[in-house]
Amino acid sequence: MVSKRTLILWDIDGTLIVSHGAGVRAMELGFQKQFGRSCDLGQVDWAGRTDSWITSEVLRHNDLPVTPENIQAYLEAYLSLLPVELAKGQQGQVLPGVLELLETLHTRDDIAQGLLTGNLRRGAQFKLTHYEVWHYFEFGAFADDSPLRNELGPHARRRARELHGVDFAPDRTFIIGDTPHDIACGKVIGAQTIAVATGQYPLDELTAHSPTHAFADFSDTAAFLRAISV
């Protein structure tokens, strides 16, 4: 049996899927549900951030105490509404090429793939179960681990090591995402980075942050596989 030697860590929103605002709507409605007034998530530069960071910023922008109790209550309200917003099915989708790529990597004995996402673990499960790709991921790092995205990489690598019994080398670890924050997160742990322009950032803006590789989308499976080959 071939031992696993390459670690692939995926972002979710704008990278694997787009939910066309389900998460944002759930955040805004969750704020209203918990605190009795409306909020505008457009006040916060949330792309590539963690849910726990976003909630803190929303509270701050709305002059509410940024306490652990308020953060937790807000997140619980958000999670209670997220499945409802996902079920509305407003043209959300798995992004081009992603299904074929996930399936191809899943069949490779030398590759382990997990998540490195700003979503809470339950939020990630809600989203990826809705789009029928949750089963590809046995482990990951989430907003539950830290509000700072740059601190998530070590959690993901530790869980990969615990699950597979392999200490994946940084140069055989690939962080995949659609924002400059994903690129920075990978560089912090010395990983290779793959940027994809299927989110809010255009390709030229992503390449300005010097990822190892950059793609317009993942419709070319062979090109992706070449990027992660030795």
Q: Model confidence over 197-224: pLDDT tens digits?
A: 999 999 999 999 999 999 999 999 999 9
6-19+92-228 and 22-87 in the same fold: no
CATH number of this structure's domain 22-87: 1.10.150
pTM equals 0.93
pLDDT tens across 152-206, in order?
999 999 999 999 999 999 999 999 999 999 999 999 999 999 999 999 999 999 9
Give the 3-state secondary structure of residue 215.
Answer: strand
Contact 58, 39 (CB under 8 A): yes
pLDDT band for 128, please (50, 70, 90 cuts).
Answer: very high
140: nearest Cα among 16, 10, 14, 3: 10
97: nearest Cα among 225, 15, 10, 219: 219
CATH number of this structure's domain 6-19+92-228: 3.40.50.1000
Please, is 190 exposed, middle or buried when counting C-beta atoms within 10 Å of its C-beta (0-12, 13-18, 19+)?
exposed
Domain ranges of the chain: 6-19+92-228, 22-87
